[in-house]
């Protein structure tokens, strides 16, 4: 909880900074109003025999009580606005960050952990800030003004409070320091729970197929037990902070009572002033108690905040210079890999000195065993990753000089993993942009072969759909992703195991549609089913991260090399 962290946190006050300043001012006035009440109450006690003066003090007290109530109401309203403005901006920042981090970060971070940053951790920070804001300005003002008034009444008695108050603060600080570690561990386990539950929900079929539901339940029980232990410790430490400081404060109050009574007996202080002093001794400790209680609660918020800032500080995709645009989308493109090498982990290369060229309008297949680096080539072409060495050219221009958004505008990409947004079929096919008309969506549906099953749905193209819908098969979902790629009318088409989830009949329908789509377009096809690539203009065979051979299907079969053996194995299998 250092100044740098707080300063960075308050940088998320966009849109509410004026309200935050006003909140501090109102908090000071609220603190002043509450401090003034005991002072005038003491004056009223000293003037019990003078009704005119007494009535005047009673009116002042009532006015102060009313003013304090109104100020407190305004303070709470403003602090709510400030705290949730911070939460809103922080949540927007964490979500936006997810789209700027390098792909390597996404690959190494679970979806549940990212969800925890954006939802749970930000919510904890917002709640902690609300508690802090409700107590800080008014509490600090109350402490300082109370201390000043106490010294005005009797500085000798007030010294007792000043000398022993640091003891109360020190006790709270030491407890909060221990609580922070527990709250940090709690936040970490909470994100693990989120990831675990998300994984179980997403893959519940696999859990039942392999009969591991009991093991998954036991695994969650273990996480839950760890969370219970950590939470119990954190909650215990945060809970004893307030009673501990109250105990010290009670001793201070007792000291004020004894010294005040002694001074009162000697006539050094009036009864009214003594009553005010006792009220202040109690009132002085209340905001300190509240602030120390909030301080320990803030340890949970700051533990989450540390995780969020660590995430926000993770390496981003570097900003790109404005470059010349590629030719019109209706032009043809060639693609060339020149001596490309790449490794996900340093020292363990996945691709080694890869070189080949895809001519304008050619259909080019990449074949090879699982794990040879086929999909990695596509990841490099899409600029999800950058090569360790070598270069990739489109129409002779390095893709490093082409902004990612510009490059991907020309590419249609259908992966082996289907993904559909929780929206209508119409909007899913129109996913690449609102410029796609309804007629283009219908045409893409017909060309992909998905129109036939869409028309059977109750709301047809306006039917809501998502990845978890069971009455639509994986093959049909794959057809929708192909329709989505078709609707964007790409210049370059990439198919990465695009028919892996469909039956033979559906695959044949897709192949016919794909042939129409690829006509005249530069395309790269990855397929385990080698029958899908026999008609490609060229096939590059990758083995152990290197180019093994390049040629047409017939040429490669005639050569009797690695591809010939691979194809023979596929046919016999």
Judge if pTM exceeds 0.75.
no
**What number of other Cβ atoms are within 10 A of residue 44's Cβ?**
21
The first and second tokens of residue 155, run together, are 């500085």
Taking only the tens of pLDDT, the chain with its 573 residues reads: 567 777 788 788 877 878 888 888 888 888 888 888 888 888 888 888 788 888 898 999 999 999 999 998 998 888 888 888 888 888 888 888 887 787 777 777 777 777 777 888 888 888 888 877 777 777 778 888 888 888 888 777 777 777 777 777 777 667 766 776 777 777 778 777 777 777 776 666 667 666 777 777 888 888 888 888 888 877 777 677 667 767 777 777 777 778 777 777 767 777 787 788 777 777 766 776 676 667 666 777 877 888 888 888 887 776 666 555 555 555 678 888 999 999 888 888 888 888 988 888 888 888 887 778 888 888 888 888 888 899 999 888 888 888 877 787 788 888 777 777 778 888 888 887 777 888 888 888 888 778 888 888 888 888 888 776 777 777 788 888 888 888 887 888 888 776 655 566 666 666 776 666 677 788 888 877 777 777 788 888 888 888 888 888 888 888 888 888 877 877 765
What is the distance between the alpha carbons of residues 149 and 169, in angstroms, rounded to a whole number?
21
What is the distance between the alpha carbons of residues 462 and 486, in angstroms, rounded to a whole number?
19
291 phi and psi, to 5 degrees? -65, -40
What is the distance between the alpha carbons of residues 51 and 33, in angstroms, rounded to a whole number?
24
- Assess contact for 450 and 414: CB atoms under 8 A: no
- Residue 387, classified by CB atoms within 10 Å of its CB into exposed (0-12), middle (13-18) or buried (19+), is buried
The first and second tokens of residue 389, run together, are 């060495």
Report all structural domains of the chain as residue ranges with CATH numbers, in order of start: 3-312 (1.20.1560.10), 335-572 (3.40.50.300)
HEC profile of 3-36: HHHHHHHHCCCCCCHHHHHHHHHHHHHHHHHHHH
463 phi and psi, to 5 degrees? -70, 135
Residue in this structure with the two tokens 């970060």, named with its chain if needed = 105
């Amino acid at each position: 909880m250092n100044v740098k962290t707080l300063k960075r946190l308050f940088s998320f006050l966009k849109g509410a900074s004026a309200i935050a300043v006003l909140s501090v001012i109102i908090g000071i006035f609220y603190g002043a109003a509450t401090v003034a009440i005991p002072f005038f109450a003491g004056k009223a006690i000293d003037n019990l025999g003078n009704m005119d003066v007494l009535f005047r003090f009673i009116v002042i007290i009532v006015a102060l009580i009313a003013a304090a109530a109104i100020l407190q109401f305004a303070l709470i309203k403003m602090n709510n606005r400030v705290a949730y403005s911070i939460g809103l901006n922080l949540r927007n920042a964490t979500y936006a960050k997810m789209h700027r981090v390098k792909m390597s970060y996404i690959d190494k971070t679970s979806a549940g952990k990212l969800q925890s940053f954006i939802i749970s951790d930000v919510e904890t920070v917002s709640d902690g800030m609300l508690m802090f804001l409700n107590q800080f300005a008014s509490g600090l003002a109350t402490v300082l003004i109370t201390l000043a008034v106490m010294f005005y009444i009797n500085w000798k008695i007030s010294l007792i409070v000043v000398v022993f108050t640091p003891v109360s603060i020190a006790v709270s600080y030491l407890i909060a320091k221990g609580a922070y570690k527990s709250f940090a561990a709690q936040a970490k386990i909470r994100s693990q729970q989120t990831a675990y539950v998300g994984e179980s929900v997403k893959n519940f079929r696999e859990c039942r197929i392999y009969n591991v539901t009991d093991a998954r339940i036991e695994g969650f029980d273990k996480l839950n037990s760890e969370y219970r232990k950590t939470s119990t410790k954190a909650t215990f430490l945060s809970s004893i902070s307030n009673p501990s400081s109250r105990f010290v404060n009670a001793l201070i109050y007792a000291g004020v009572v004894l010294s005040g009574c002694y001074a009162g007996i000697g006539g050094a202080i009036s009864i009214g002033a003594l009553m005010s002093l006792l009220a202040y001794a109690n009132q002085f400790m209340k905001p300190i108690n509240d602030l120390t209680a909030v301080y320990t609660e803030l340890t949970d918020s700051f533990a989450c905040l540390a995780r969020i800032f660590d995430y926000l500080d993770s390496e981003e995709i570097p900003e790109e210079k404005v470059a010349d645009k590629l030719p019109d989308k209706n032009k043809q493109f060639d693609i060339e890999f020149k001596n490309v090498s790449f490794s996900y982990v340093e020292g363990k290369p996945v691709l080694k000195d890869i070189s080949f060229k895809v001519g304008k309008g050619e259909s080019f297949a990449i074949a090879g065993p699982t794990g040879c680096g086929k999909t990695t080539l596509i990841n490099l072409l899409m600029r999800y990753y950058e090569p360790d060495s070598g270069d990739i050219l489109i129409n002779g221009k390095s893709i490093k000089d082409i902004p990612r958004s510009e490059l991907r505008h020309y590419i249609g990409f259908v992966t082996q993993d289907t993904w559909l947004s929780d929206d209508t079929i119409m909007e899913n096919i129109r996913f690449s942009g609102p410029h796609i008309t309804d007629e283009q969506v219908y045409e893409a549906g017909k060309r992909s072969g998905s129109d036939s099953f869409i028309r059977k749905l109750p709301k047809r193209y306006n039917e809501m759909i998502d990845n978890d819908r069971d009455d639509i098969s994986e093959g049909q979902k794959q057809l929708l992703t192909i329709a989505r790629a078709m609707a964007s009318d790409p210049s370059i088409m990439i198919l990465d195991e695009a028919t892996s989830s469909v039956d033979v009949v559906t695959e044949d329908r897709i192949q016919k549609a794909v042939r129409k789509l690829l006509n005249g377009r530069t395309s790269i096809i990855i397929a385990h089913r080698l029958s899908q690539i026999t008609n490609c203009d060229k096939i590059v065979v990758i083995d152990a991260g290197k180019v093994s051979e390049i040629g047409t299907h017939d040429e490669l079969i005639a050569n009797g090399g690695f591809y010939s053996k691979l194809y023979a194995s596929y046919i016999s299998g």
